[in-house]
């Protein structure tokens, strides 16, 4: 076990697309847990699109990271010392509030216990974590998805998108992927998507959507905002529902207005509904969603892809890969060995 604690701190707010220079790595002594606390050694660190909003000075739905602060992020790790009777040394846990560091002191309320016999460790940061409930409630609750709907999902080969497409198919819907490469479209088809659009190679994205959705889009699960949303708005079916889950396409201009075409008449005529979505609004129902997701996984109906980079020193690089759509599946950083 290491005898120092490496940490990544934000040193400056990004101007445009973040770069590795926005963070700096430091080393300090390993912290000691207090009463009813535990020390956890990270095995996997999480990088996710929501973090772009957290490193902006603009108002967000939760507190941001200021220059000098430890970078936010979740982790899967091993308890190395526990002062709480409900956890013991060697337990494996997942936390959404760990930070980019080797060791963290956490309270029991900040973690969930992992059973590696149920699913491999990365799954607990994916369909058995926030990504799973995001895809589930974004479609089932917020979008009120129903059998027969044509469901279009942007960033479809990413961590949330790959789960959302499979949930749509399990619900009896037609699932269409919008993503950034032919390789990703092929992966989406392997997961059950009925069709796919490579937005980087289509010269007329609204026409491409019309081609694969001739009867219009009933549900749009929006992970990107920007021009993809504009194109979908030109192809709405009557009473379409749009769940705004993420805005990753704005990563290089996060603090500027999202200026694009306006299609209010299309929204009016189709009687469409656009709804902002935060999965934390459904926190009281996470367990029921995880139970369904786990059952689908056990029966082989739900599959996931992981894009894992080795090395703590590569954590910012992994985050930037995500923002530039280089990842295939859930992006994680492996910083230590599983026991």
Task: Measure the CA angle with vertex 110, ends 92 and 108; round to 5°.
Answer: 70
* Beta carbons within 8 Å of 139's beta carbon, 6+ residues apart: 145, 151, 164, 167, 168, 171, 219, 221, 243
At 312, list the tokens. 């703590």
Scanning 14-129, the segments in alpha helix (DSSP H) are 50-54
- Which pLDDT does position 332 carry in this prediction? 97
Identify the CA nearest to 11 among candidates 3, 19, 87: 19
Specify the pLDDT at position 34: 96
- Can you give the pLDDT of all 339 residues of the chain as single tens digits? 788 999 999 999 998 899 999 999 999 999 999 999 999 999 999 999 889 988 988 776 677 899 999 999 999 999 999 999 999 999 999 999 999 999 999 999 999 999 999 999 999 999 999 999 999 999 999 999 999 999 999 999 999 999 999 999 999 999 999 999 999 999 999 999 999 999 999 999 999 999 999 999 999 999 998 899 999 999 999 999 999 998 877 766 666 777 777 888 999 999 999 999 999 999 999 999 999 999 999 999 999 889 999 999 999 999 999 999 898 889 999 998 887
The reported pLDDT for the residue numbered 269 is 93
Give pLDDT, residue 252: 66
Asked if 241 contacts 275 with a C-beta cutoff of 8 angstroms, the reply is yes
Residues forming beta bridges with residue 46, ordered by sequence position: 332
Predicted pLDDT at 248 = 77
In the chain, what are the domains? 5-125+305-334 (3.90.180.10), 130-280 (3.40.50.720)
CA distance 74 to 66: 18
pLDDT at 114: 96
What does the pLDDT read at residue 16? 86
């Amino acid at each position: 076990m290491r005898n120092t604690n490496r940490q990544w701190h934000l040193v400056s707010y990004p101007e445009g697309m973040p770069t590795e220079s926005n963070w700096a790595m430091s080393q300090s002594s390993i912290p000691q847990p207090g009463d009813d606390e535990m020390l956890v050694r990270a095995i996997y660190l999480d990088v996710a699109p929501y973090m772009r909003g957290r490193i902006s000075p603009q108002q967000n739905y939760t507190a941001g990271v200021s220059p000098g602060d430890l970078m936010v992020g979740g982790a899967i790790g091993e308890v190395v010392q526990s002062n709480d009777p409900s956890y013991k040394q060697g337990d494996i846990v997942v936390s959404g509030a760990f930070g980019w560091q080797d060791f963290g002191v956490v309270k029991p309320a900040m973690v969930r216990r992992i059973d590696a016999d149920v699913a491999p460790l990365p799954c607990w940061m994916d369909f058995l974590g926030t990504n799973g409930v995001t895809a589930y409630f974004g479609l089932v609750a917020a979008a009120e998805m129903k059998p027969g709907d044509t469901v279009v999902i942007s960033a479809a080969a990413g961590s949330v998108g790959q789960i959302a497409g499979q949930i749509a198919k399990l619900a009896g819907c037609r699932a269409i992927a919008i993503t950034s490469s032919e390789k990703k479209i092929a992966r989406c088809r392997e997961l059950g998507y009925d069709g796919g659009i490579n937005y980087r190679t289509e010269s007329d994205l609204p026409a491409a959507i019309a081609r694969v959705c001739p009867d219009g889009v009933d549900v749009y699960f929006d992970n990107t905002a920007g021009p993809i949303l504009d194109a979908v708005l030109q192809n709405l079916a009557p009473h379409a529902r749009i769940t705004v889950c993420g805005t990753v396409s704005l990563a290089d201009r996060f603090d500027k207005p999202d200026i694009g075409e306006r299609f209010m008449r299309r929204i009016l005529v189709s009687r469409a509904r656009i709804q902002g979505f935060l999965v934390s609004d459904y926190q009281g129902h996470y367990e029921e969603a995880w139970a369904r997701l786990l059952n689908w996984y056990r029966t082989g109906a739900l599959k996931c892809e992981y894009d894992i980079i080795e090395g703590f020193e590569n954590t910012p690089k992994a985050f930037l890969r995500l923002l530039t759509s280089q990842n295939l599946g859930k992006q994680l950083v492996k910083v230590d060995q599983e026991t």
